Structure 1
Amino acid sequence: MNALTTALGHDGLRKDARGILVIEDSRTFALALRQFLEAETGLPVTTCASLKDLSELIVAAPGAYAIAVVDLNLPDAPRGEALDWTVAHGIPTVVFTATFDLATRGRIMEREVIDYVLKDSEFALGNLVGTVKRALDNRHTRILVVDDTRTTRKVLARMLAIQQYVVVEASSGAEALALLDANPDLQLVVSDYYMPDMDGFELARSIRRRHPKVRLIGISSSTDRKTSAGFLKAGAHDFVSRPFVLEELQCRIASNVETLTQLKQLQELAARDYLTGLFNRRHFFEQGPPLIGTAQKAGFPVSIALLDIDHFKQLNDRYGHDGGDKVLSSVAGNLSRLAEHETRLLARVGGEEFAILFAGADLATACRLAEGIRAEIAREPLLLGGAELSLTVSIGVAEIGVSESLDASLGRADRALYTAKQEGRNRVCAAGQEA
């Protein structure tokens, strides 16, 4: 990760390349589960039908599996010995079982598994795959646990870690707020009520005021039922009483994480242009200024490019709106391939206009990057109306001055774009070089 990426706060999360291990003695069910899991997760699935095969697989490829799905009762492992193997070798495990009673539940949960799913209906396969997907997704969710008692805090943190969440701990309300301020990727807080510096109600109000997108679950061993109401009125989204029923805690946290995911998806949809899938003008003007400020504060230059499809009106008139949409989608697809990068912000900002912020690029570098984009688009013909159509773009580029507004710099890039059109189109012009 380079210095600019670090300054901009990208975490560089990579997809887990390890596979999924399924231990199931029913060949038909194992095949269906493998196909379903591979389709839903994109990860390779290895199946085996016995404890003997399982032990050989794990010994042959230690560390090869991100998660295991274990049938509790196998012909050569009738008492959950396969589960003991996966847990002992540090493989996060989901149990799938047709035999279930309180004793079985206790035997499963004491082994610190992610969850168990019952073979009790036609929905069992879907439930199992959903549980595996959630566990894999949980690895990208950071949860802050706040409790001034170390032992209690560690117990809760361990419960969450078993569910594959990334856990951060705080021993006071003040420490929790400091961690939230410094770590914008913290999405969920689980907080005790009793703390020496501020109680859970005060912490909830502070989080609601300073970090309104963060969800909060209050916890308490108090027998006063007004405690839960106090948490909710102070801004918490949920409440759990101690001592925990483990499955209840899991479900409540999972429900809040799912809500966060849905909100993120809605925000993503609101930020995207419906036709091209690129970010829209609103998102560009919301995210552009903080990106510029962060990069410049760290000592990096930032430039902006404004791109326009040449002769788009004539293309639209000739081929109709459907043809015009295909032109826009084609250019957007090329831009996405060529210009989307963790230090760049790309958006459709007008009918046939696109803007790119290049964080870390001075004027000369941005012009070179823009020239590469222009040349690549010109080399990619579009099949339209049964014929190959050559598309070209004109681009204006400006380096953004310190304390210069995004509007002002975009205006200078627009004037440079006008110059590029006046000089014959299909070219890049830099601000300061206008005729």
Structure 2
Amino acid sequence: MPYVQQIVAPKRDRKDGPVLLVEDSRTFASILSYRFREEIGRSVVHCASMPQLEETLKRGEQNYPIAVVDLNLPGSPHGEVLDLVIRYGIPVVVFTGSFDLGARERILDRHVVDYVIKDNERACDMIVESVRRALANRDVRVLLVHEPGEARDQLAALLRAQLLTVVEVATGEQGRTLIEINPDIELVLIGQHLPDMDGLQFCRRIRRKHGDDRLRVIGILPTADRFLSVGFIKAGANDVIYQPLLVEEVQCRVAHTIDTLSQMKQLRIAAASDYLTGLFNRRYFYMMGPDLIEKCLQTGVSCSMALIDIDHFRRVNDTYGNDLGDTILTGLATRMQQLVDMDQNLVARLGGEEFALLLHGMDGARASIFCEMLRQELAKLRFVAGAQEVSVTVSIGVAEIEARETFDNYLNAADQFLFMAKQSGRDRVFSDHWMRVMGEAGQSRRPQPFETGGDVLYLT
């Protein structure tokens, strides 16, 4: 099998810049500027004439991720405004009032992101959506599995014009390997004729492991054969596109597929998130926790479980009301997200005032030190109840995961140490590591400062 290199995402220097709006109509300029700011969160640099645009681009003060360009700008009788913006390497959505087949060819020959005709009651909606989608496309990876040739080159160019990150391979086996080592590939376009298998075989093989809720497949068919289309759909494809390619059809079908992926992603996030704090919820923690622990055990990476409970939280609710209680829960969750590496560790609200952490790469000693830092930082937070400031403390139980057991056993172990923290006065961290250190030192159950690996862990 040929060597397949892992994909490395390119740098996006223009990603966070303002939208360049080239439009002489005050009405359209005002509406679009407002909507870009309010709905997409992007500032706007507006140019109303060709000289103003030339001067703005020469100054080079901004990196524009995208431009919306009026094709019929005064001083640009033959679309010179479009050529000027493209020369600066800025992706373009064309906004035009006059349109015919000749104009269509001139626009599409320049590989624009999209075009929208002004003579449409939804024109502004379509422009905003096109810009939103183009900006989001920069984070979407597409795999093109197609035999080399003019058809693949044309399709790759159309996809890159949509600002998608595109990787091209020629064989089905290369495509399968890339999907396995790059789980963030979300869309695959597959040709029918490959050197090592046909498109139908490729679809069947990847569908054995990858559902269409995370990976969408579009078949590229050499003919409008309905039986072949049905075959692709039954094999696991989500859509098909016929050759010769029609630019607008490719744009629409790919955009629809990516929109569906985005909606599914939002549903997964909603299903996995705690409604109040935005942290992962109990269901997600129980679903993902065992897999993460198993990976740590297989690779020999240390990991620990921690349970966090807010001290006397019921008393806070009874004294100050549930609104302040919710504010405290949200504030603590936000601070935990700032302090915990969310890419490496799993943090969830299990319910009520209890949180759980699965700490990757931390044995009992390191996890105890980390949780003590977390305890101290959470105690610094202040919340306002009328004219009064309120603070809370937390108790934390930490258990190192050293062998394969049931997931409930790991949680129960951390819960036992959490119970000990509460019984000994709250506002402290208890762990199996602390118990060992205290036992070896012959000290009493009253926690005292001690050193671990060069770090001082204060258990008050």
- TM above 0.5, yes or no, is yes
Per the TM alignment, residue 24 of structure 1 is displaced from its structure 2 partner at its CA by 1.0
Amino acid at match of 1:425: R
Q: Which residue number corresponds to residue 230 of structure 1? A: 231
> Shift of residue 274 of structure 1?
1.7
Amino acid in the other structure paired with 1:222: T
Identify the residue that residue 47 of structure 1 maps to in structure 2.
46
Q: Whole-Å Cα distance in 2 between the matches of residues 144 and 70 of structure 1? A: 30
**Structure 1 partner of 2:412:** 411
Cα–Cα, structure 1 residues 340 and 190, in superposed 2: closer, same or farther, change >3 Å?
A: same
What does residue 4 of structure 1 align with? Answer: none
- RMSD across aligned C-alpha pairs, in angstroms? 2.5
Name the residue aligned to 2:216. 215
CA separation in 1, counterparts of 2:64 and 2:73? 20
Deviation at 1:124, TM superposition (A): 1.4
Secondary structure, counterpart of 1:253 in structure 2: helix
Supply the AA of the counterpart residue of 1:47. Answer: H
Shift in Å, 1:12: 11
Q: Which amino acid aligns with 2:123?
A: A
| Alpha-carbon distance in structure 2 between the residues aligned to 1:64 and 1:228 | 43
Residue identity in the other structure for 2:19: I
What pairs with 1:35-184 in structure 2 (closer than 5 Å)? 35-61=34-60, 64-184=63-183
Q: Is the contact made by 2:398 and 2:418 (CA closer than 8 Å) also made in structure 1? A: yes
Looking at structure 2, the residues matched to 370 and 107 of structure 1 have their Cα atoms a distance apart, in angstroms, of 62
Give the aligned partner of residue 363 of structure 1: 364
Counterpart code for 1:422: Q
After superposition, the C-alpha distances for 1:290-347 in whole angstroms (9 at most, x for unaligned) are 3344456555422222100112233344455555444433433333333353222110
Task: Give the letter aligned to residue 92 of structure 2.
Answer: T
- Aligned equivalents of 1:390 and 1:141: distance in 2? 43
In structure 1, the partner of 2:17 is 18
Shift in Å, 1:371: 1.7
* Cα offset, 1:111, TM superposition: 1.0
How far off is 1:68 after superposition? 0.9
| Letter matched to residue 414 of structure 2 | A
Q: Deviations over 1:13-64 (max 9, x none)?
A: 9992222211111234323322221223323321112222222222221871
- Indicate conservation of the 8 Å contact 2:350/2:356, yes or no: yes
Q: Gaps (5+ residues) in structure 1?
A: 1-8
Residue matched to 2:262 = 261
Normalising by the residue count of structure 2, what TM-score does the alignment of the two structures yield?
A: 0.86
| 8 Å contact kept, 1:10–1:342 | no
How far residue 231 of structure 1 moved from its aligned partner, in angstroms, is 0.6
Aligned length: 427
Distance 1:13 1:296 in 2: 36
Deviates more, 1:285-294 or 1:115-124: 285-294
Cα deviation, 1:126-178, whole Å, max 9, x if unaligned, reads 21111011001011111111112343222211110010011111211111111
**Is the deviation greater in 49-58 or in 11-20?**
11-20
Q: Which residue type is aligned with residue 175 of structure 1?
A: Q
Measure, in 2, the Cα distance between the counterparts of 1:358 and 1:404: 17
CA distance in 2, matches of 1:42, 1:291: 35
Secondary structure at 2:419's aligned position in 1? Answer: helix
Superposed CA deviations along residues 37-94 of structure 1, whole A, max 9, x for unmatched, are 1223323321112222222222221871111111001111121101011112211100
Q: Which amino acid aligns with 1:200?
A: G
